[in-house]
């Protein structure tokens, strides 16, 4: 028997307005998926959770059921709910392993809360084996989808996701490849440095986007090669975008806990909605 794929939205509290849920419900029909709201009762700070755990669990179950019912009524879609006990990062990673996608929100009230949750979001996105989307609570509305690509095989999945989203939303797509090089230990200008390397980077980017026109004939696509640190380049472009899409290298073992410096930096900063695509 086949089951309907699920998009898991990690919920930190019972607020009636959750942009992360709105994003998931908007995306779900495209993926043929249903949405599940997941709240983790954090017991990581207690060595003996009972009887506190039982009271917290009952209260959370009632709140998450009410929230799922509210969003089901609003959207006309099936919205499931679930509760877990334990460390939030561990539980979200474990529950999300079999999901189509994991969606994470950010805090909007205190700077410390936001910084702490963004760190948690980066840890979740780094450990989980499926793609993740981080939705900030409030940003200045942007336009366009920006996707960062490199010269590895990891570029194919984020580029495909970004193109589908841009086409679905009627947004232009900007494909960005940033590159850097060691700066010479001199104040003097070096003729033609590093023009030859830049030409090679442009050829690589042209190969990446070569098939987009055939797959999405009506999609406006702009390609940019920018000299600079990848996280800085993508952050600056992402601030004015509707969504920023980046890849994850999918490392295994100890290295699997890290997204890679670029993706991790961007999730921590969250200039706009960020999709980290496996």
d(CA 226, CA 233): 7
The reply to whether 75 and 102 lie within a common domain is yes
* Helices 111-127/261-269 angle, 10° precision: 150
Quickly count: other Cβ atoms within 10 Å of residue 45's Cβ. Answer: 7
Listed in sequence order, the DSSP H helices in 84-135 are 88-96, 111-127
Question: According to the model, what pLDDT value does residue 25 have?
Answer: 97
Mark which of 135, 155, 175 sits at the end of a domain. Answer: 135
The pTM of the full predicted model, rounded to 2 decimals, is 0.87
The answer to whether residues 124 and 155 belong to one domain is no
| Residue 255: predicted pLDDT | 41
What are the residue ranges in the chain where pLDDT is below 70? 1-2, 13-17, 44-52, 107-117, 139, 151-154, 181-196, 249-260
We report the CATH number of the domain holding residue 168 as: 3.40.50.12370
What distance in Å separates the CA atoms of residue 166 and residue 169, rounded to the nearest whole number? Answer: 5
pLDDT at 15: 62
Alpha-carbon span 235 to 227, nearest angstrom: 14
Q: pLDDT tens, 119-136?
A: 888 888 888 899 999 998
């Amino acid at each position: 028997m086949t089951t309907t794929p699920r998009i898991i939205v990690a919920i930190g509290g019972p607020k009636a307005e959750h942009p992360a849920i709105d994003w998931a419900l908007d995306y779900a029909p495209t993926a043929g998926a249903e949405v599940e709201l997941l709240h983790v009762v954090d017991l990581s700070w207690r060595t003996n959770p009972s009887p506190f755990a039982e009271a917290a669990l009952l209260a959370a179950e009632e709140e998450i059921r009410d929230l799922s019912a509210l969003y089901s009524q609003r959207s006309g879609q099936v919205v499931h709910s679930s509760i877990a006990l334990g460390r939030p990062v561990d539980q979200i990673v474990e529950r999300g392993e079999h999901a189509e996608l994991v969606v994470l929100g950010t805090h909007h009230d205190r700077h410390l809360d936001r910084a702490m949750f963004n760190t948690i979001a980066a840890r979740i996105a780094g450990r989980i084996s499926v793609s993740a989307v981080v939705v900030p609570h409030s940003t200045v509305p942007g336009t366009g989808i920006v996707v960062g690509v490199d010269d590895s095989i990891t570029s194919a999945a984020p580029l495909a996701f970004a193109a589908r989203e841009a086409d679905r939303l009627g947004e232009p797509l900007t494909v960005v490849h940033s590159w850097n090089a060691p700066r010479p230990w001199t104040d003097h200008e070096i003729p033609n440095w590093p023009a030859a390397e830049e030409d090679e980077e442009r050829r690589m980017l042209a190969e990446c986007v070569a098939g987009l026109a055939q797959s999405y004939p009506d999609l406006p696509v702009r390609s940019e090669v920018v000299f600079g640190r990848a996280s800085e380049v993508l952050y600056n472009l992402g601030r004015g975008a509707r969504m920023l899409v980046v890849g994850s290298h999918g490392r295994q073992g100890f290295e699997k806990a890290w997204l890679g410096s670029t993706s991790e930096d961007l999730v921590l900063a969250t200039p706009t909605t960020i999709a980290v695509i496996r």
